[in-house]
Amino acid sequence: MSAPLSSGADVAHVDAVFKGLPHKASHLSAEPVSALASGFMWPVAVIHDSALRNNAALMAEVCQRFGIQHAPHLKTAMSPELAQLQASHGAWGFTVGSPSQLRLARSWGTRRLVLAAESVDTEFLRWLRGQLEDDPEFEFYLFIDSVRGAEVAGRHLAGIGRQAGMLIEIGHPGGRAGVRDAESADAVARAAVDAGLSIAGIAGYEGTIGAQRTTEVETAITAYLRRLRATTEELDAAGLLGADRDSFVVSCGGSTFFDLVAEELGHAWTLTRPVTTVLRSGCYLLHDHEFYASSSPSFPWSTGLRPALEVWAQVISRPEAQLAILNAGRRDIGFDLGLPIPLRVIDPNSGAERTAAGTITELNDQHAYLEIPLDFHLAVGEIVALGLSHPCTTMDKWRALPVIDADNRVVRYVHTYF
């Protein structure tokens, strides 16, 4: 079942208030326009359409092959246009990371949402109850991992029934939120039942176990996923999962190890209700050139995920023989999981491209230091396409991004709302 979005996803006039974009860029018609001859002011973040569609189709095929569902995490881009693309590829619902993100997603018309975090914010929970009462088709899932959290949620969401499903979050030692043992899971579940809440199932997050795809990390993640399965079975056997529900939800899966989640949680269950396994991957759609590129899964039937997001910066200074200064920095590019990577040099006049050389060694607020080989020619005014690591912390720096085709023509725009 696709998650519907309203026509409100067509938002925001694109003009000079958007960093890098041409004045009145909404002139874009049905005909693509050149990204190099349309008034862009560098730097500009761009999204490659072919990679974007490849990644959306790959996740849809993974879900189809493993018989699971997908609630893409909106925090990566906070973009209604990208959410619409994911909905068109069969998204079961959407995931958010905070109450404010959930409120924004509701304004886009989303009808099934997972808040992948605990919340004891009474103002939010009061607002949420109003949303659920006003829209009988709105379906919501909340993580809980404490008796206190269950009690607070119960004061605001009790009596809503299946519209508001609690997911007992299962954590791991040294991890983030989530109960650490079976006894705590049982206690939280009983508190939720006593508070009049409907327990939809369980949830977890495997990404905090390890970032690199090593045998040791994969083994630990597999053990964790099996603990999620065992805990679900124990809660069901104890009669603590919602008797009012047609099926239970088991949710896990970031963008690095979603293949392991699909393999471990996607095969047959023997519970009192059918199980809907839900991935919550978000970064997969844009992917990247380093962090996720080095650790994301590969499949024998696919060419894999492709990086879709780049930042194009202009060479503004060649102060030393092996140094070029680009006009993009920390205000334009995320750097929490690695500095950007020079990919291509683009002649802004002819559009000709060649492979880049060198290494970004430092970022200032608005400048990047590109160290290049002595024999590599790079002129002031040329454009350097930069590959990125971790798309989340780059997307939040851009309010609008052009989507380009294989000939570097702008075919549409994507907007973000952070």
Same domain assignment for residues 191 and 228:
yes
- How far is Cα 247 from Cα 50, in angstroms, rounded to an integer? 36
Residue 16, pLDDT above cutoff 80: no
Q: Point out the domain boundary residue: 261, 279, 297.
A: 279
CATH of the domain at 149: 3.20.20.10
Structural domains counted in the chain: 2
Cis peptide before 43 (omega within 30 of 0): yes
**CA distance to 5, 6, 7, 412, per residue, from 10 (Å):** 10, 9, 6, 11
User: For the chain, what percent of residues have pLDDT higher than 70?
Assistant: 94
pLDDT tens profile 257-266: 999 999 999 9
Q: In the 8-state DSSP scheme, what is residue 2?
A: -
> Could you give phi then psi for residue 153, rounded to 5 degrees?
-60, -40
Question: Is 235 a domain residue?
Answer: yes
Same domain assignment for residues 241 and 193:
yes
pLDDT tens profile 159-197: 998 999 999 999 999 999 999 999 999 999 999 999 999
Question: Is 87 a domain residue?
Answer: no
Same domain assignment for residues 311 and 258:
no
Same domain assignment for residues 20 and 149:
no
Query: Residue 130 contacts by C-beta under 8 Å, 6 or more apart in sequence?
Result: none
Question: Is 327 a domain residue?
Answer: yes
Question: Is 346 a domain residue?
Answer: yes
Give residue 248's pLDDT.
Answer: 98
Residue 47, pLDDT above cutoff 50: yes
Residue 12, pLDDT above cutoff 50: no
Mean pLDDT of 188-208: 97
Structural domain boundaries, residue 128 = 111-279
- Beta-strand pair 248-252/341-346: unpaired
Among residues 359, 363, 365, 347, which one has the least CA distance to residue 323?
Answer: 359
Q: Which two tokens mark 379?
A: 């002129």
CA atoms within 13 A on the CB side of 288: 27
pLDDT tens profile 137-150: 999 999 999 999 99
CATH of the domain at 364: 2.40.37.20
pLDDT tens profile 402-413: 999 999 999 999
Same domain assignment for residues 262 and 319:
no
Same domain assignment for residues 328 and 267:
no
pLDDT tens profile 363-387: 999 999 999 999 999 999 999 999 9
Q: Give yes or no for a contact between 91 and 71, defined as CB atoms under 8 angstroms apart.
A: yes
Model confidence at 14, pLDDT cuts 50, 70, 90, reads very low
**CA distance to 147, 194, 197, 370, per residue, from 191 (Å):** 6, 5, 9, 57
> Could you give the angle at the alpha carbon of 389 between the alpha carbons of 75 and 348, nearest 5°?
105
Question: Is 206 a domain residue?
Answer: yes
Same domain assignment for residues 142 and 256:
yes
Distance, CA of 194 to chain centre: 34
Same domain assignment for residues 208 and 349:
no
**CA distance to 129, 159, 271, 410, per residue, from 244 (Å):** 19, 12, 14, 49
b/e string for 347-361 if b means 16 or more Cβ within 10 A?
A: ebeeeeeeebebebe
- How far is Cα 195 from Cα 166, in angstroms, rounded to an integer? 11
Model confidence at 275, pLDDT cuts 50, 70, 90, reads very high
Same domain assignment for residues 206 and 117:
yes
Model confidence at 224, pLDDT cuts 50, 70, 90, reads very high
Same domain assignment for residues 165 and 249:
yes
Give residue 30's pLDDT.
Answer: 63
**CA distance to 36, 59, 256, 369, 394, per residue, from 294 (Å):** 31, 18, 9, 24, 18
pLDDT tens profile 303-323: 899 999 999 999 999 999 999
Give residue 191's pLDDT.
Answer: 98
The average confidence (pLDDT) of the chain is 94
Residue 10, pLDDT above cutoff 80: no
pLDDT tens profile 58-100: 999 999 999 999 999 999 999 999 999 999 999 999 999 999 9
Q: In the 8-state DSSP scheme, what is residue 224?
A: H
Same domain assignment for residues 401 and 311:
yes
- How far is Cα 346 from Cα 385, in angstroms, rounded to an integer? 7
Higher pLDDT: 304 or 31? It is 304
pTM of the model: 0.94
Q: Give yes or no for a contact between 363 and 339, defined as CB atoms under 8 angstroms apart.
A: yes
Same domain assignment for residues 246 and 343:
no
Question: Is 78 a domain residue?
Answer: no
Residue 210, pLDDT above cutoff 60: yes
- How far is Cα 187 from Cα 401, in angstroms, rounded to an integer? 47
Question: Is 100 a domain residue?
Answer: no
Question: Is 85 a domain residue?
Answer: no
Higher pLDDT: 23 or 321? It is 321
